[in-house]
Amino acid sequence: MNSNSVARPNGPRAAPTEGPQASPTAVRQDDTVYQKDQPVAKALEAEVDLEDKEVHFGELYESDPLLLPDECEYQEYRILIRRVAFAASLDKNAPHKGRVLKGVVAEILGHREQC
């Protein structure tokens, strides 16, 4: 990790929101990727590299609703996924994880607007 990288713990700090859909003003979880204010994937081993303007994810899981060509939000960043090293629609060792993407690199487009 270089001096401009920020490692973030992946544990959720916020209480889960009520109901199936989170509102734009709801507290977001730090380990979750969002699209259109909806959670679309959970992140493991995420590293923010501010120098290269990238976020590296060791793994994204429960990512079935994630639309890869669309802009996402992760923590305070607007991101666009550029590379996926490995994708599996079902991990036989962990079927509860749904679609799993490994070795994911996303470009940081900017900071998300706070509601």
Confirm whether 14 is domain-assigned.
Answer: no
- Residues 55 and 2: their CA atoms lie apart, in Å, by 13
Confirm whether 61 is domain-assigned.
Answer: yes
Say what the pLDDT of residue 16 is: 43
CB 56 within 8 A of CB 43: no
For the chain, list residues with pLDDT below 70.
Answer: 1-26, 91, 114-115
Q: Residue 34 forms beta bridges with which residues?
A: 39, 73
Q: What's the distance, Cα to Cα, between the start and end of the chain in Å?
A: 32
Domain of 49, in residue numbers: 29-111
Say how many domains are in the chain.
Answer: 1
Confirm whether 84 is domain-assigned.
Answer: yes
Say what the pLDDT of residue 17 is: 42
